Amino acid sequence: MTQHVALSHTTGSFEAVVAKQLDDPEQFWLDAAQAVDWDQYPTAALDDSDAPLYRWFPDARLNTCFNALDRHVLAGRGDTTALIYDSPVVGKTKKYSYATLLDKVARFAGVLADAGVGVGDRVVIYLPMIPQAVVAMLACARLGAVHSVVFGGFAAKELASRLDDAEAKVIVTASGGIEPSRVVEYLPTVVTALELSRGTVHTVIVKARPEVPGSASEYASPGTQWWDWRETMMAAEPHAPVSVAATDPLYILYTSGTTGSPKGVVRDNGGHAVAMTWSMKNIYDVGVGDVMWTASDVGWVVGHSYIVYGPLLAGATTVLYEGKPVGTPDAGAFWRVVSDYGVKTLFTSPTALRAIRKVDPHATLARDYDLSLLEAMFLAGERLDPETWTWASALLDKPVIDHWWQTETGWAICASPRGIEQLPLRAGSPSFPVPGFRVEIVDDQGHEVGILDEGHIVIRLPLPPGTLTTLWNGDQRYIDGYLTAFPGYYLTGDSGYFDRDGYLYVMGRTDDIINVAGHRLSTGSMEQVLAQHPSVAECAVIGLHDTVKGQKPAGYVVLKSGIDIDSITLAEELVAMVRNQIGAVAAFKEVTIVAALPKTRSGKILRKTIRQIVNGEDYVVPPTIENIEAIALIVATVDPSLN
């Protein structure tokens, strides 16, 4: 295969690591495994006996929670801060040392054990961004149980479908979550979900929050016991870590499937621990005592990997933030957190930056805070447009590193690995494939395309440690959905291209490639052009049905705060920009200004949903939507009478 790395202008450190991994991947990952504490050390890295299903470190045993907490305490770092909880929505902050967090996790593991939870049992965690979410996840790992975090606030039907698919024994929840303008009660939803589900849950554990009504004592369900978090913690005995096979599942994380039924991505214990530990050092340059803040949600893979597991496996300090980039209280919230806690590495989404930029385009509020300890910002979750990258780079005068990965991969497919070598960054590119990810670009027939030619982004099997091993109770579904389109490869579902120096450019989902009069065009490339306009805060380009050309592109744009521009003038300017930079072949002529674009809670714009609405197709509002009111704005563009 072709390994696209051509970096004659670097010191060669990254190239050397890539070459080592390609030359002897077995030894590379056994060497990486030395950073993990094992109960039984692996003698082999990869088990390919059941290909295309692969397993990592098949003869090894460990406990992930021990690696995240106990070993740091045993090494004399118990007083080091492990977790900082910062909640502007309730006005609280709290720091937990490694020793304190270990005590709470061990006790809650005892609570779960008292509820009959053991190795391999599934526990659904339905909590807001509070410390108990971290405690519950690690407590499951301590017991060898399998956790499945479901976003607090998911509707009852969605929660029930996950309870049933996982056959969960226990739900860990809270009285509710808190948004800037409202509170969301969880317990009525849990009751309804239990009624809708098949009845595998026998215990609900409730963390009562003073800001949200509801407690365990107020609820009862047939065949289900309701426990109070505080009371059970006081009575519980700490539980020791349980040794599990490296190939045993650590967690299930559900992502929406194309059929509407949830897909449970399975992450193992051993490969995950090795990948997280390796990535913390080599990609993020974060180690013992460093502060990393991942401004995400524990319900997303980013939160699993780099709020909870990654930083704690590395012995670092992690920040758990219950708030928003704007509105809690203002667009300076992120800079305040960075300043307050001496954050070294910030990981957030392009959407969060675009939200900040929309409200505070000149970053005036950032001047109120000391950002001197911040060394780098990493962005993922949504394609990073060059304009946002340029804005953030100028604001911070520090590396702003785009990197690309997926729920399924669990960590970065492509990145500039700051811990190995700070590579030159390029606008619009997440840089290079990380060692272990052998990325290629192929056409519809599976043939590798040329440099600068756009095609399907695929990854040659086997995927490295830390990636999904399968789908929960769905080996064949995993094979059919990801491994069949191009045999020998994992299908990412994204399109892109390599430039002449080996930088990858991810242009968007393959279903965002439109066919205009026989020309295959990327809507992502058009979005990059629109985002360059000084009035545009964010945008989406979708393909509309066209009786003559087959499809035609249409742009939906959100303006920056304080911008007053005539819609006709803006449309003319944007159309001219696309024509000049992409060409008349794009046939880009339609622009609609909207107040907001519908997004998931991780910040991804719901382009498919927009396309379905505008094309008059049936659509389902995803349960992960953050701003459901934005759907009505799009509907009104189709039927203005609904305004």
- Which two structure tokens, joined as six digits, stand for 617? 């197709």
Q: 0.75 cut: is pTM over it?
A: yes
Whole-angstrom CA distances from 107 to 101, 112, 253, 295 are 10, 9, 24, 28
* Residue 579 pLDDT grade (very low, low, confident, very high; cuts 50, 70, 90): confident
pLDDT tens by residue, 493-509: 999 999 999 999 998 77
Residue among 412, 410, 401, 341 nearest 373 (CA):
341
| pLDDT for res 259 | 47
Q: Does 642 score more than 60 pLDDT?
A: no
Residues 495, 314: Cα–Cα separation, whole Å: 33
Specify the DSSP element, H or E, that contains 13: helix 13-23
Residue span(s) of the chain under CATH 3.40.50.980 come to: 61-71+98-266
Q: Do 535 and 563 contact (CB within 8 A), yes or no?
A: yes
Which pLDDT score is estimated for 256? 63
Please check the confidence at residue 595 and state whether its pLDDT lies above 80. Answer: yes
Q: Is the pLDDT of residue 640 over 70?
A: no
For the chain, what is the mean pLDDT? 91
**In contact, 503 and 429? CB cutoff 8 Å:** yes
The encoded tokens of residue 466 equal 């830390």
Which positions ≥6 away from 140 have C-beta within 8 Å?
Answer: 109, 112, 117, 123, 125, 146, 147, 251
Task: Encode pLDDT of 94-129 as tens digits.
Answer: 999 999 999 999 999 999 999 999 999 999 999 999
> How sure is the predictor about 178, in pLDDT bands with cuts at 50, 70 and 90?
very high
Residues in the chain: 643
pLDDT value, residue 511? 67
Residue range 381-414, pLDDT digits in tens = 888 888 899 999 999 999 999 999 999 999 999 9
Buried b (16+ CB within 10 A) or exposed e, 392-408: bbebbeeebbbbbbbbb
- In a 3-state reduction of DSSP, which class is residue 137? helix
User: CATH for 61-71+98-266?
Assistant: 3.40.50.980
- Ramachandran quadrant class, 445 (left: phi over 0; alpha: psi -120 to 50; beta: rest): alpha
As given in the structure block, the two tokens for residue 308 are 């909870």
DSSP designation for 605: B
User: Cα separation of 224 and 214, whole Å?
Assistant: 17
Locus of tokens 């805060």: 537
User: Which amino acid is it at 474?
Assistant: G
Q: pLDDT-derived band of residue 157, with 50, 70 and 90 as boundaries?
A: confident
Q: For 277-315, b where at least 16 C-beta lie within 10 A, e where not — what string?
A: bbbbbbbbbbeeebbbbbbbbbbbbbbbbbbbbbbbbbb
503 neighbors 455 (Cβ within 8 angstroms): no
Q: Looking at residues 82-105, what average pLDDT do you find?
A: 97
Two tokens, residue 600: 């998931």
Q: Find the angle CA(621)-CA(627)-CA(632) to the nearest 5 degrees.
A: 65
Q: How confident is the model at residue 641 (pLDDT cuts 50, 70, 90)?
A: low
Residues 6+ away with beta carbon under 8 Å from 421:
10, 11, 13, 14
List pLDDT tens digits, range 503-532.
Answer: 999 987 776 677 675 556 778 778 888 989
What is the C-alpha to C-alpha distance for residues 378 and 285, in angstroms, rounded to an integer? 11
Q: Is 516 helix (H, G, I), strand (E, B) or coil?
A: strand
Q: Report whether 201 contacts 171 (CB < 8 A).
A: yes
Which residue ranges does the chain devote to CATH 3.30.300.30? 511-642
Half-sphere exposure at residue 541, Cβ-oriented, CA atoms within 13 angstroms: 30
Give the pLDDT of residue 583.
72
Predicted local confidence at residue 519, as pLDDT = 59
- Does the domain at residues 511-642 carry the CATH identifier 3.30.300.30? yes
- Looking only at the bridges linking them, the beta strands covering 470-471 and 262-268 are antiparallel
Q: What is the DSSP string of 122-155?
A: EEEEE--SSHHHHHHHHHHHHHT-EEEE--TT--
Q: Predicted confidence band at 7 (pLDDT cuts at 50, 70, 90)?
A: very low
Q: What is the CA radius of gyration of the chain?
A: 24
Token pair for residue 473? 């109770």
Between 351 and 325, the higher pLDDT residue: 325
The answer on pLDDT for 5 being more than 70 is no
Residue 8: pLDDT over 50: no
CA-CA distance, 578 to 573, in Å (whole number)?
9
Phi/psi of residue 181, each to 5°? -115, 0
**Of residues 193, 372, 270, 197, the one with CA closest to residue 38:** 270
Measured from the Cβ of residue 269, the count of other Cβ atoms closer than 10 Å reads 28
**Phi/psi at 35 (nearest 5 deg)?**
-80, -5
**Cα(412)–Cα(432) distance, rounded to whole angstroms?**
10
